[in-house]
Chain A
Amino acid sequence: MKKLLLGNEAIARGAYEAGVTVAAAYPGTPSTEITEYIAAYDEIYAEWSPNEKVALETAFGASLAGARAICAMKHVGLNVAADPLFTASYTGVGGGLAVCVADDPGMHSSQNEQDSRHYAAASKVLMLEPSDSAECRAFTVQAFELSEKFDTPVLLRLTTRVSHSRSLSETGERAAFPNKKYEKNILKNVMMPGMARARHKIVEQRIRDLTEYAETCGLNTVEMNENPPRSRKFASEEAHNNFSPSAGTARKIGVITSGIAYQYAREALGDSVSYLKLGMVYPLPEKKITGFVSSVDICYVIEELDPVIENHCKRLGLNVLGKEAFSDAPGKNPGVQYPSALLGEYTASHIREVVLGEKPEAFSVSEKIPDRPPVMCAGCPHRGAFHVLNQLKLTVTGDIGCYTLGALPPLSAIDASLCMGASIGMAHGMSKADAGLSKKTVAVIGDSTFLHSGITGLMDVVYNRGSSVVMILDNRITGMTGHQDHPGTGRTIKGEPANAVSLEKICEAVGVRRVNVIDPFDIDGLKKLLKQELEADEPSVIITRRPCRLLIKAEQPRFSVSREACKNCGQCMKIGCPAISKQENAAVIDGTLCAGCGLCAGICKFKAIAATEVSV
């Protein structure tokens, strides 16, 4: 029976059916649920690794041992895991190895919009791209077969709208995949120059073989729609005329596309055009594309982000319309104007407008509607830390997590954020460049992020005689991605008890002599401690420890403002709690939103805020 599966769930299902026995990942939107769904299968060992590099190395090790293995990450995670990927391309695999990488066009939850297809080309690794959940499942199963057939890791490229959409998919039984017998083979698996030279030749031959495979394989499909198109007014009559020998008459339109863009194109154009849908996006076929382009009068390449397929066509000398046809879109998401087709997501309306010249119709609102940016939850432990940082007017290098939201008003307490773990290196570099900054710069990093890639930064500070202050906001979980465990929580992905890594001991072992632990809601204590540590001429770590509000299940009190005592000074508004708003005569706390942390009560100078009732 068909089931409505989330794209990521369908990947997990495919991995299960393919007989995968090992899965490793670090959480990252939009890839996180792949591994969460896999962890629900008893037959598969699954883990949250400390970071993506370790995850890929673990999956690679499992493949080396002869098992089918999978790992998953978001696009920027592949930057971290790029090192093992590039050389795993040389060694090839034992059991099949699939690496899922989820891009985020439109940056729903990311710091950049990189296009992972470049990684496939750069590492010379086969890449598949499904367009819905049924394909997520089927392509995952196929990824393992191809991985073994061509002796290569296989990248599965996803995008947010594929990962996080539900659509109908068949499900099948799990196939047994007994481990291949492990055999020591240093010529294949130890990549020193002598061995790697020989392997590189094999990699280049493999790409030629795969290109040949791409010409005929079922992953790349042509749908010819023979009905002659109705004569229509084109959006850009001139551009179209250049492509047609019979300008002004009916023309056959072709579309080359892949992934979610295929679904948008189908939505927009239906059976009025012919399609070459590429399920395998690296390496790309040559003859197949050339044949398709020459079978139509005009050919569009419809792909989000970078012009990867388009440039391939142009290298083949083919006349196709790509990014320039789709730039400066009027029909994009309401209220958002994209200057160019390289940015953000494509839409069916825009494709319809460009290809068929049909303008979308929509209501518009002229009034400026206030945005609703994400905020730290009511009761979030980070709020105390950022309130103090804001009050002390410090320069703060930030990191990736819920706490990145501390950059937004009214807390406005982050100056820079770059990538996972970067806060510490940035603070160190700033103080080396400007000694004056050193006494007022603090690095802020979450517990999970610190374990992911902050430890090496801290080592740098210690080793190279830095004196940065590093605040580890320890909320005991990986928050932003939806509360995943990590090496410090004492639980595995399957909920089993685990050895918990101690943040304090790591910092001490790295050589930090000043390690303090404090409750981020101890505002005065934290203020004093920060001032004191900034004065010290050696590295210092302050661990602010309080669990993420969403982990606390016990009933909490609710707070309210006394109308009589409140002077409406606005002080409590500065902590940016979504439960507090300023009304005409007094601040008001929304009792349904208040999480009962009490932070605001401590901040009010007039003692106007107090706990009132116990929530039910």
Chain B
Amino acid sequence: MSKVTLDRVRKVYPNGVEAVRPSSFEIPHGELVVMVGPSGCGKSTLLRMVAGLEDITDGTLSIGDRVVNDVDPADRNIAMVFQNYALYPHMTVAKNMGYGLKNRGLPKAEIDAKVREAARMLNLSEYLDRRPSQLSGGQRQRVAMGRAIVRSPELFLFDEPLSNLDAKLRNQMRIEIRSLQRRLGVTAMYVTHDQVEAMTMADRIIVLNAGQIEQIGKPSEIYNRPASTFVASFMGAPPMNLLPASYNGNGHVALGDDLALPIQADADHAGEVQLGIRPEEVHLSDKGKTPFQLDLIEELGASRLLHGKLAGHEFTVNAPNDDAPLEGTLMLDLPQHALHLFHGETGRRL
């Protein structure tokens, strides 16, 4: 079984940058794990260490039951799909897909059969004799996938494989990659900075920030119980509202001077907190008790975003689109389950 285990894996580049702080996690067999985070947070570095393209500074990495820290990329039994596809420009599609097998010394007939099989799976059969330059972006992406599949790897690695495609194709390929991975049952690590990709594709998400793992969890956990203000504001669009507040330690959080909200929390911290509220979890309601000063409306089609002020702080509400004219001060209903409390200094969830 090909689980992947990282044990306090750390990366320091020769120039002294600590791109990945000691990180430990385990990916069970057949799971697709998405690593997400802002640019420069170390996603690629982590993935490339698993691929063997980057040395591991400290810690141990195992694929299956084998420690692979010092194993050559070619012998780790992995396949990687790159952002710019990295197809060999002078080789035909068939040669591109078969190159790895050829280097392993497989007989030609067997390579042919495998390439054909992969091409059939990916609807590439008619393009086998073309060069990459004669293909569209989506087709190139498929060839890159094909090159990964034919090797029957234990582990797929994807580094932002869809970010060069237009939005429509991206959605389509997202689904294709996901279903292919399920069908083949191969463990996969997938890097992206697109949170929609992360939410839709992942069995589990790893959120990275500045080389540090902020949270590991199922997409629903990440969304419903973000472990820190960073995760809260990074995952979800529009991002979660974060308001400075103070918590009295037994059931009330005060926003400004004259607004106190009841909250179910067993936090043992009292004092400065950050109050997080997702824009889509608050409702406009005449019976609501919280005043909201509306400044600006953004139409999104299915819904609209109301930007304004709550207790003097920037606040956004995602309201259903019912064409009713809105202006001035509105009343909001803030259900208790929509309130997330974070530590005022560390930003950790309380």
* Bind each other: no
Binding site for B on A (CB under 8 A): none
